[in-house]
Structure 1
């Protein structure tokens, strides 16, 4: 937050990945932003795993960028239809973690809050895949709200 006296979140950063959890985070950001006339920034990062999987295809990275742009467009459209000001940012820096990109963007943009989805993995799934949401919380200088969606829950990316 820019000042300790500030009690509202005027800039809400929402990292999205196309999952049900990130769709829930977008909806929560809308719910928070609308009455406060806050601005939402949607961030998507193309990570190393995606690039590694796509590298087998001839136009792999270009395809990933195109899909990321479509995801950002759909989610931004959802936010706009809720009458909330929104913009987007796309990162394809595979040499950095998503969590570090989110932390840097929050600082650069002077975000007041990060709203992130969490998949709620436990046990072996969390150990093997790690928790991007946990790393965002640990690396953030601003408050982070985690929005949970279970594996059974089906939430559309666009409403």
Structure 2
């Protein structure tokens, strides 16, 4: 069973899906969680090209997001701590793998956006890079699929 689970979060619904799965695994197996946020300047510039903010605003928004995430985690019966690291010049994946090694995580659980085509080419895939370079298992959690019933109801309404 896993004893130390690293879960990177960025505030997106995909990363929160990963967080939920990591919490579930930690509760089941008694593992400790480390919730990691990487203040990543490349992600902000890449996803919001018109967004020009300095590193301090990245730090503030990262801290606010992490406070919200940890408030959610503390409601669960798991041992957890949090860490914010800065990587304003490189990929978040590099910081995730480095922290997994440093903290001696035996599992990384992360949400994935599942980008395809042009978006994947432009933004890359931190999840893919973590899978390729981590020295421990990586569990990727996709976004929650729409239920078949909900999809059928929408289809029926549109007729």
Report the TM range for the smaller structure's normalisation. Answer: 0.7 to 0.9
Give the TM-score taking structure 1 as reference length: 0.82
* 1:31 is aligned to 2:24: yes
Residues in 2 aligned to 1:104 and 1:127: alpha-carbon distance in whole angstroms: 24
The unaligned stretches of length 5 or more in structure 1 are 1-7, 153-159
Which of 112, 123, 133 pairs up with 2:117?
123
Cα displacement (A) at 1:71: 1.1
**Aligned equivalents of 2:50, 2:133: Cα separation in 1:** 28
1:5 corresponding residue in structure 2: none
How far off its partner does 1:123 sit? 1.4
Contact in 2 for aligned 1:116/1:146 (Cα 8 Å): yes
Map 1:2-151 onto structure 2 (within 5 A): 8-50=1-43, 52=45, 56-57=52-53, 60-149=54-143
TM-score, length basis structure 2: 0.82
Q: Aligned to 1:18, what secondary structure does the other structure show?
A: coil
Gaps of 5+ in 2: 147-159
Q: State the secondary structure of the residue aligned to 1:149.
A: coil
Offset from partner CA, 1:29-62 (integer Å, 9 cap, x none): 01100022211111111113256569844xx322
Q: Give the paired residue count.
A: 144
Which deviates the most, 127-136 or 137-146?
Answer: 127-136
Aligned-residue CA RMSD (Å): 2.2
> Residue 124 and residue 61 in structure 1: after superposition, are their counterparts in 2 closer, same or farther (change >3 A)?
same
Q: CA separation of 1:125/1:23 partners in 2, compared to 1, >3 Å: closer, same or farther?
A: same
Bigger fraction of residues in helix? 2
Give the distance between the partners of 1:145 and 1:30, measured in 2 at CA.
13
1:41–1:122: structure 2 CA closer, same or farther, 3 Å change rule?
A: same
